[in-house]
Amino acid sequence: MRSRWFGPTLAVDTPAKLNLQLSVLGRRPDGFHELETIMVSIGLYDTLTFAPGPSGVSFTCNGAAGPLPADESNLVLRAARRLLRPDQRQPGVQIHLTKRIPMQAGMGGGSSDAAATLVALNDYWHCGLSQAELHAHAAALGSDVNFFVDSSPLALCRGRGEQIESRSLSGPLWFVVAKPPVGLSTAVVFRQLDLATCGRADSHSLLQACQRGNLGAIAARLTNDLETPSRQLSSEIGDLLERLAAVRLAGPRMTGSGSACFGLARNREQADRAARCLRRQGVHEVYVVQTAV
Ligand code: C5P
pLDDT value of residue 71: 87
Residue type (1 letter), 285: E
Q: How far is CA 283 from CA 38, 238, 253, in A?
A: 27, 13, 16
pLDDT value of residue 73: 86
- Give the pLDDT band of residue 100 (cuts 50, 70, 90): very high
- Whose C-alpha lies nearest to ligand 1, atom 8? 187
pLDDT value of residue 85: 86
Indicate which residue of 13, 46, 113, 144 is catalytic.
144
Which atom of ligand 1 is found nearest the CA of 257?
8
Which atom of ligand 1 is found nearest the CA of 31?
20
Residue of 19, 34, 186 best suited for mutating to test ligand 1, as the one with most atoms within 8 Å of CB: 186
- Measure 248 CA to ligand 1 centroid, in angstroms: 33
Check pLDDT > 80 for residue 226.
yes
- Give the pLDDT band of residue 75 (cuts 50, 70, 90): very high
From the list 175, 176, 179, 177, the residue with the least C-alpha distance to 237 is 179
- Give the pLDDT band of residue 77 (cuts 50, 70, 90): very high
pLDDT value of residue 86: 82
pLDDT above 70 covers a percentage of the chain that reads: 100
- Measure 230 CA to ligand 1 centroid, in angstroms: 15
Q: How far apart are CA 168 and CA 210, in angstroms?
A: 7
Check pLDDT > 90 for residue 218.
yes
Check pLDDT > 90 for residue 68.
no
| pLDDT tens digits along 142-160 | 999 999 999 999 999 999 9
Indicate which residue of 17, 46, 179, 225 is catalytic.
17
**Cβ within 8 Å of residue 73, ≥6 positions away:** none
Q: How far apart are CA 202 and CA 273, in angstroms?
A: 31
Check pLDDT > 90 for residue 256.
yes
144 labelled catalytic: yes
Residues within a 6 A CB radius of ligand 1: 32-33, 35, 142-144, 160-161, 186-187, 190
Mean pLDDT, residues 118-126: 97
Mean pLDDT, residues 252-271: 98
Q: Are 192 and 15 in contact (CB under 8 A)?
A: no
**pLDDT averaged over every residue in the chain:** 96
| pLDDT tens digits along 25-44 | 999 999 999 999 999 999 99
- Give the pLDDT band of residue 88 (cuts 50, 70, 90): confident
| pLDDT tens digits along 171-199 | 999 999 999 999 999 999 999 999 999 99
- Torsion-angle region of residue 77: left (phi > 0), alpha (psi -120 to 50) or beta? alpha
pLDDT value of residue 283: 96
- Whose C-alpha lies nearest to ligand 1, atom 11? 187
Which atom of ligand 1 is found nearest the CA of 35?
21
- Give the pLDDT band of residue 58 (cuts 50, 70, 90): very high
- Measure 32 CA to ligand 1 centroid, in angstroms: 6
- Give the pLDDT band of residue 70 (cuts 50, 70, 90): confident
How would you label 209-230 residue by residue, b for 16+ Cβ within 10 Å and e otherwise?
bbeeeebeebbebbbbbbbbbb
- Whose C-alpha lies nearest to ligand 1, atom 20? 32
- Whose C-alpha lies nearest to ligand 1, atom 7? 187
pLDDT value of residue 139: 98
pLDDT value of residue 147: 98
Please state, as a whole number, how many other Cβ atoms lie within 10 Å of the Cβ of residue 130. Answer: 9
pLDDT value of residue 190: 97
pLDDT value of residue 89: 84
- Measure 136 CA to ligand 1 centroid, in angstroms: 17
- Give the pLDDT band of residue 66 (cuts 50, 70, 90): confident
First CA to last CA distance, the chain: 5
Q: How far apart are CA 147 and CA 166, in angstroms?
A: 9
